Structure 1
Amino acid sequence: MPSPIVNTTIQSCVLNATSNLIAQFITAYKSNSPYTINWVPVFQFVLFNTISNPPNFLWQSFLESAFPSNYLVPSSAAIHAAAENDEKELDREEKTHEILESKLHIQNTLTKFLLDQTIGAVANTLLFSLAFAGFRGQGYADAVVTAKHEFWPMMQAGWTLWPFVSLLNFAVVKSVEMRSLVGSLAGLVWGIYLSLLKG
């Protein structure tokens, strides 16, 4: 069975390829021209995603291990049973794993959110620009100029979507694997925007 990092990379690649195909369709529709698939940008998006997804998965795993979203506290039923000295009820809750309940760690969630929307967003934006400048055959110096030129417009566009996705993921979604799925689904929309931008 493939590892979670492989599963999320494959799923993300499929969604990125789909977003590029949709973007090509939108471009053809808007220009009133026949829809013919250009496989080069599809391949470029899949290649970039294959390279960038594993480090992103590891980044999200690091954030979760360093700043866990949840912590365990005695459940209200367990507190009530303890106050009543109800040993039988406490034993029952322990056996059924109801003695503790999970609470959202707000400080850790906000810390992860801020790190993801600063360090993570900056790294992803710069790497995307540099990679696609390289795909266009630009040398390193020209690629850096392109990345600098594209940086703020892409960051500002990203802030219309990714902070909401990030906060939802950290506050509601429990596992890194499921967060990757939510991120990939949001990435379908974002990929269409990027494909239109790079088209």
Structure 2
Amino acid sequence: MSSALIRTTIQGCILAGVSNLTAQLISSYKSGLPYTIDWTPILQFMFFNLLNTPPNFLWQQFLESAFPSTYTTPTPSAIAAAATNDDKELDREEKKHEILETKLSVPNTLIKFMLDQTIGAAVNTLLFSAAIAGFKGATYQQAVWTARQDFWGLMSAGWKLWPAISALNFAVVRSVEMRQLLGSLAGFGWNIYLSLSTA
């Protein structure tokens, strides 16, 4: 297991626990009841993230390796120097590392975005619903039924947040680990919503 995967999993678990704690505080404030910590949902959210983060990290690695975000191309000045056989200018640009530039691959970014917001989102939504139902004592059949019942509601709620995060991640953030960090930070608010909706 890579150190990046371990760091990402630990950070996901911590943020999940804190988000559930925050949701309990919000719920207590709204109801006017004294604030008492219920450790069960906190540990459940942390445990779910412990199981869910590694496959998501590997999913993001797969997307990046199959559809790289960037490609290299000669710079306009390098093309111009090559067209005029200006070897002196080409040597200067090579020394300054100005011969090639990195550009965003728009087709690959769109493919990753679509796969992440369809297959990735659907799998995560189903697993979350089934896991929470299981934590509450549901049988396998009941957990599957709950996942199916909750699916479109959670997917439509998720599409109000995750497409923007996904687009930002794929278009701007270069490393998978940093994408996971941004996703975890956005997930903090999302987990508060999930905690309140599953309470």
Is the pair's TM-score, using the shorter chain for normalization, greater than 0.5?
A: yes
Over aligned residue pairs, what C-alpha RMSD do you find? 1.1
| Aligned equivalents of 2:18, 2:95: Cα separation in 1 | 47
Amino acid paired to 2:138: Q
- Corresponding residue for residue 29 of structure 1: 29
Q: TM-score, normalised by structure 2?
A: 0.96
| Aligned equivalents of 1:182, 1:100: Cα separation in 2 | 29
Partner deviation per Cα, 1:45-103 (whole Å, 9 max, x = no partner): 00000000000000000000000111100012212322343212212222332211111
Partner deviation per Cα, 1:111-131 (whole Å, 9 max, x = no partner): 111110111001000000111
- Corresponding residue for residue 154 of structure 1: 154
Amino acid paired to 1:166: S
| Aligned equivalents of 2:163, 2:57: Cα separation in 1 | 17
Counterparts of 1:76-155 in structure 2, within 5 Å, are: 76-155=76-155
- Corresponding residue for residue 12 of structure 2: 12
* Equivalent position SS for 1:150: helix
| Aligned equivalents of 1:86, 1:37: Cα separation in 2 | 71
- Corresponding residue for residue 63 of structure 1: 63
Give the aligned length. Answer: 198
Identity percentage over the alignment? 64
Amino acid paired to 2:133: A
- Corresponding residue for residue 198 of structure 2: 198
Question: Are 1:3 and 2:24 counterparts?
Answer: no
| Aligned equivalents of 2:72, 2:127: Cα separation in 1 | 38
* Equivalent position SS for 1:37: coil
| Aligned equivalents of 1:87, 1:15: Cα separation in 2 | 54
Structure 2 regions of 5+ residues with no counterpart? none
* Equivalent position SS for 2:72: strand
| Structure 1 stretches of at least 4 aligned residues deviating more than 3 Å after TM superposition | none
Q: TM-score, normalised by structure 1?
A: 0.96
Structure 1 regions of 5+ residues with no counterpart? none
| Aligned equivalents of 2:166, 2:61: Cα separation in 1 | 14
Amino acid paired to 1:42: I
- Corresponding residue for residue 185 of structure 2: 185
- Corresponding residue for residue 43 of structure 1: 43
Segment of structure 1 superposing worse, 187-196 or 30-39: 30-39
Amino acid paired to 1:125: T
